[in-house]
Chains A and B, each alone.
Chain A
Amino acid sequence: MKVAVSAQGPDLDSPVDSRFGRAPYFVIVDLETGNHETLANPNVGAAQGAGIQTARLLGNRGVGAVLTGNIGPNPVSALRATGTEIHLGISGTVSQAVEAFRRGELEPCSGPTVEAHFGLGRGGGRGQGPREAGRGGRRGRRT
């Protein structure tokens, strides 16, 4: 089985990145051969659908399990539809995460942990005035 880990850097010693769709790298480890490859994630700056695109990228490479920190609802649907295992709340380095997975220590997740657009980490274009207070986050999405 191939396992993909969202990573802040390109190698096995890099820390796990807590975002799925907008993680800068994925390190993909083949558990049978022990080989690994690194993908620079082209969806980091996507305006929309970064999680779905990333799920597609990994799915088409034959990845069977994803290890990451948080994930939104759309990539969960995409990974589930292709029978990909999802493990969340992962921290430490890529190789530590893969070892924990190999030892069967990770529980598969039951659902998304963050709302859509979580990884964007920005405010919105909506007004900031008193009548608008408290709604900026919800209305900040670009449509």
Chain B
Amino acid sequence: MILSVASGKGGTGKTTVAVNLALALGRSSRGSGVPPSNDGSSPRNNGHPPRGSGLPLREHGQPPRGSGLPPGIVLVDADVEEPNCHLFLRPRWKGRETITLPVPEVDLERCDYCGRCADVCAYSAITVIRDVVLLFPELCHGCGGCSLLCPRGAVAERPRPLGSVRWGRAEGLSFYHGELDPGQALAPPVTRALKARALGARGADLVIVDAPPGTSCPAVEAVRGSDLCLLVTEPTPFGLSDLTLAVEMTAKLDVPTAVVINRADAGDDRVDRFCGERDLPVLARLPFDRRVAETYARGRPAVGAVPGWEERFRELGERALGLAAASRGRGEKRCRT
């Protein structure tokens, strides 16, 4: 099960939601803290699909091969341009892997300057002007087309480092994050590698992905393939404008979508009306709480620090998992017919 937490607008509380959601679900799956409620009805569950049968978590599982991490909930910080979940979780790091992209290298002894490589490159990362071959590795997306299609076999590939993936443990969670190297512009390959590592961890029952803000390639890559995307917004004109864009993005990606309204007691009701018109379930309305802001400023999550918030995030998590399970069921039925 993959839950992504995204937003159009930056600063709405994605990281707060992702980190606290992971912590709250982790605590309830381990049986500490407040036990999960079995109450299927809720005054705020207005007509949304019923919850799944508890959390899809294994009590005992195999540790993932080679990573040194036990199974269960995996939190993935996919804002590789500026990861920040680790500031709140302070993980014990267990490993790190460099992520590279294959970029072209030309053997000028073999090259006859036909320009086929330049014709097929969608990003102008390789070009041939008369008898000059030029490489722009920072533009290369690593598709391998130039190497594959060179009639003279003159184009080889070399790995270009883009960033790294790190993993560790924090508060009973497995934690992965990606870091794009300074000066690099190409986030998606790092995000792809990060998600592959996190999803490949054996026993990764629930993967929560904290996506970057916006609706451009890094956000698309983070959200792609989720069972449910939670869009965190705030009831302001900016919040609504960017929520609208984000909803278009998840629709194109065919990812079931629900909304979390943060600082729900501020602003106006236009976000609510928009969600009603678009049939978007609002899974939580989180009030502004000065104590949460204060713990945030000290680099601590609200769960475990501010009374009442563990229950709030656990309830949000249960609704999200129920909705994701129901959407998944519908998706499978769609696929069979």
Given B12, B123, B216, B219, which contacts A48 in the complex, CB threshold below 8 Å? B123
Is B185's beta carbon under 8 Å from chain A? yes
Give the distance in Å from the alpha carbon of A77 to the alpha carbon of B242 in the complex.
Answer: 38
- Distance (whole angstroms) from the CB of B146 to the closest CB of chain A: 13
Question: Can you list 12 A-B contacts (CB < 8 A)?
Answer: A48-B139, A49-B123, A50-B124, A52-B139, A60-B129, A125-B217, A127-B9, A127-B10, A128-B241, A129-B11, A131-B11, A143-B185
| Most chain A beta carbons < 10 A, residue from B7, B123, B216 | B216
| Most chain B beta carbons < 10 A, residue from A77, A82, A130, A139 | A139
- A-side contacts of B102, CB under 8 Å: none
Known contacts A49-B139, A81-B132; 16 additional CB pairs below 8 A are A46-B124, A48-B122, A48-B139, A49-B124, A52-B127, A78-B127, A78-B129, A78-B134, A124-B214, A125-B217, A127-B11, A129-B11, A132-B213, A141-B185, A142-B216, A142-B217
**Proximity string of chain B (168-193) to chain A, C-beta cutoff 8 Å, 1 when within and 0 when not:** 00000000000000000111100000
- Distance (whole angstroms) from the CB of B123 to the closest CB of chain A: 5
Give residues 86-121 of B contacting A (CB, 8 Å). Answer: 118, 121
Q: Is the CB of A82 within 8 A of B215?
A: no
Total contacting residues, chain B, CB less than 8 A: 37
Is B136's beta carbon under 8 Å from chain A? yes
- Distance (whole angstroms) from the CB of B130 to the closest CB of chain A: 6
- B-side contacts of A2, CB under 8 Å: none
- Distance (whole angstroms) from the CB of B139 to the closest CB of chain A: 6
Residues of A participating in the B interface, judged by any CB pair closer than 8 Å: 46-50, 52-53, 55-56, 59-60, 74, 77-78, 81-82, 124-132, 139-143
Given B132, B139, B215, which contacts A125 in the complex, CB threshold below 8 Å? B215
**Proximity string of chain B (189-231) to chain A, C-beta cutoff 8 Å, 1 when within and 0 when not:** 0000000000000000000000011111111000000000000
- Distance (whole angstroms) from the CB of A97 to the closest CB of chain B: 23
Given A53, A81, A127, A130, which contacts B124 in the complex, CB threshold below 8 Å? A53
Given contacts A49-B124, A142-B216, whether A126 and B10 have CB atoms under 8 Å apart is yes
Q: Is the CB of A81 within 8 A of B9?
A: no
Q: Is the CB of B130 within 8 A of A59?
A: yes
Given contacts A131-B10, A132-B213, whether A143 and B218 have CB atoms under 8 Å apart is yes
Given A49, A53, A127, A130, which contacts B214 in the complex, CB threshold below 8 Å? A127
**4 nearest A-B residue pairs (beta carbon):** A49-B124, A127-B10, A125-B216, A127-B213
- A-side contacts of B215, CB under 8 Å: 125
- B-side contacts of A127, CB under 8 Å: 7-12, 213-214, 242
- B-side contacts of A139, CB under 8 Å: 81, 214, 216
Is B326's beta carbon under 8 Å from chain A? no
Is B238's beta carbon under 8 Å from chain A? yes
Looking across the interface, which residue of chain A has its beta carbon closest to that of B213?
A: A127
Q: Is the CB of A132 within 8 A of B10?
A: yes
Q: Is the CB of A129 within 8 A of B10?
A: yes
Give the distance in Å from the alpha carbon of A140 to the alpha carbon of B8 in the complex.
Answer: 13
Is B128's beta carbon under 8 Å from chain A? yes
